[in-house]
Structure 1
Amino acid sequence: MGLIYADVELFNVDDKALARRGYLPEAEVRRLGARALVDSGAYMLSINEETKIQLGLAVLGKQTVELADGSLKEVEIAGPVDIRFENRWTTARAVVLPFSTDILLGSIPMEDMDVLIDPKQQRLIVNPAHPYMAKKPMKNVSRGNMIGENTDHRWR
């Protein structure tokens, strides 16, 4: 399988919240159309310093990450950022890799958007089993054990 890229849109979530409350015109919400490298070996969205600045993302903290070559690097975590691909979206934090040129779309945002890698066509696709809306598994949540429900069935 070769390199797979996907056209995504990134949005500053804080700007979107201000616009929703009427404090910022919708046209001033910082956004960026980008060609992201689809990387199922990476966990998170990874952006470069330039993208962080363009979107005006806040630095939320620092973390140590393991790079593809096995080396460890302390990096900034920025966000929150909305990621849109076709009819899917998710909100995430982004690892800022200052030495990188590519935006990397990792496995966690891909799973949250319910998108798949099509290795035959070498592209990212919306899950054909759920074409209109992302399906998200909620394990251990069933009709009988929802929060607040009586799960003691001895008294029924």
Structure 2
Amino acid sequence: MMKSICGVDCTKCEFNTTCKGCAETNGQPFGAECIVALYCKKGDTALRELKEKLIEEIHALPIQDMEEVTELYALKGSVLNIEYPLPNGQMVKFWDDNKIYLGNQVGKNGSDRCYGIAADDKHFMVSEYSGYGSDAEVIVFKRWN
């Protein structure tokens, strides 16, 4: 049975058959860093403080039709790593499929589109997309913290 650093019940995770466990891998369950494990190792309040600071940064953005972000969740990079078009037409992904990031998806008021949030402790991105990540566009990608 896998043991987590953050206290999550690994048996209820959809990735429990491919995950190597964060306690056993020192916070790298898929071979790359987990931001949650990293901040849990820094002390009891470090993760909560990081989330609060990031949520403040998101709320300070001039995105008026974005529903309020109240929580950030641990998300595997492959779940949030959709492709985005560059101005030259090239499609790119910004995140490492094997890292664990903080993120959330919130609605766009008055629309059937969503905003996706993805962050580590150095960068964060807000994107907008239709169902299942189609027609995605980057709204904000910035260095922070």
Common fold by TM > 0.5 = no
Q: TM-score, normalised by structure 2?
A: 0.25
The structure in which a higher percent of residues are strand is 1
Q: TM-score, normalised by structure 1?
A: 0.24
Larger radius of gyration: 1
Higher relative contact order (CA 8 A, sep 6+): 1
